[in-house]
Amino acid sequence: MLETTTAVARPEINATIRQTTTQAAPDVPPVNFYSLSMEDLKSYFKSLGKETFRSQQVFKWVYEQRVTDVEKMSNLSKAFRSELPKFLSFELPPVIQHLKSVDGTQKFLFDVGKGMSVEAVLIPSADRLTLCISSEVGCNMACKFCYTGKQKLKRRLTAAEIVGQFMQVSDRLDEGQRISNIVFMGMGEPLDNCEAVFKSIEVLTNDWGMNLSRKRVTVSTSGVVPEMHRIWKAGVRLAVSLNASNDEIRDHVMPVNKRWNIEELFKACREYCRETGDKVTFEYVMLKNVTDRIEHARELHKLTRSVPCKINLIPFNEHPGSGFERPDDDQVMLFHQELMDLGSHVLLRRTMGRDIFAACGQLTDPKLRQDDKMDISNSNLGGKSVRNSSGGQPRV
């Protein structure tokens, strides 16, 4: 049985809510600042008998100025500065490994305690710098082509651990660089950890926080249909990990389809389009002799015509013991051309970070891998930009 977050908030979330809405006691540990939205922090300060405008001051110091030393927060009173460490901590998940790909992609490994870790990926392109964020240690969805799914779900991340990935990577950028886009496409199913994921979005898009545009935030789902409404209510973009052109194949490669099939999934996608006026992005992983045939392309075009969308084609990224192969480049190009000829809005997504196991479907606990790098000489598509049906360039 797949686990979802449709019913009751989990204990760690309830604990945070209690801490931010009740009078703090001397023996209560400080709350992690990065777990709190602006409204949370206002409520917390109010419960402590402090002025709520202090929340804006602290947000500005931490997110805009990147100052966490309370003694340097000069517009706070001396008395408040002396008390603040009792109320708030500013701990971030430590970076324990940082790898760089030949194509400029960077991968960061974070320690999230008790021997567990997650990975996040920084993806450069001409007009944007995208951070692919993880939401869970492992994953419940068990998609057969995904390395993360082999790890199984170990733990859902907190909002502080999700925001922390963004902050740690931001602090390591070269001068003048800024993360412009966030995609929740790393380890874990974002809609299996709704409370933390959407709290982190609230924090990072706040005017006093990192002030990211919600239109530059994308939440990907394998198809947890009952929670998909939260994506359009949050005002962010939707990506769906589709990966098959019919229920028979999708049942095989994505067990979630046995619970919410393509018909139910597409009904939710159409509702997203009606509510937002935006297109859905369908991610389609091409598996050799499984989902890469020309008849699959024709079936995919017919299937997606009912939803305003674009299709991202992703040639399978290998990992140890997957049981699948990457299609030949020629077959990928034929599949892409067939969809263009049929009139689909289709992008052949550049494969980036594949040599350091940072590409789509390759993230996992490094202990499951024997090596940090792999041979990528079996494909030349990683460095290519392939035009889409409207003449533009594919974007990460």
Measured distance CA(215)–CA(234) in Å, rounded = 10
Q: Is 194 known to be catalytic?
A: no
CA angle 156-218-293, nearest 5°?
A: 100
Q: Please state, in angstroms and rounded to a whole number, the distance separating the CA atoms of residues 24 and 45.
A: 10
The amino acid occupying position 255 is P
Q: Kindly name the residue from 119, 161, 189, 202 that is annotated as catalytic.
A: 119
Q: Using CB atoms within 10 Å of the CB of residue 25, give its burial: 0 to 12 exposed, 13 to 18 middle, 19+ buried.
A: exposed
> Which two three-digit tokens encode residue 178?
């800024």
| C-alpha distance from residue 64 to each of 25, 41, 60, 276 (Å) | 30, 16, 5, 30
Query: Would you say 96 and 84 are in contact if contact means Cβ atoms under 8 Å apart?
Result: no
Token pair 């209690």: residue = 18
Residue pair 55/88 in contact by the 8 Å Cβ criterion: no
Q: Of residues 143, 146, 194, 360, which has the active-site annotation?
A: 360
DSSP string across 76-104: S-HHHHHHHHHHEE---PPEEEEEE-TTS
146 is catalytic: no
Task: List alpha helices for 142-241, DSSP H.
Answer: 159-170, 194-204, 229-233
Q: Tell me the catalytic residues.
A: 119, 360
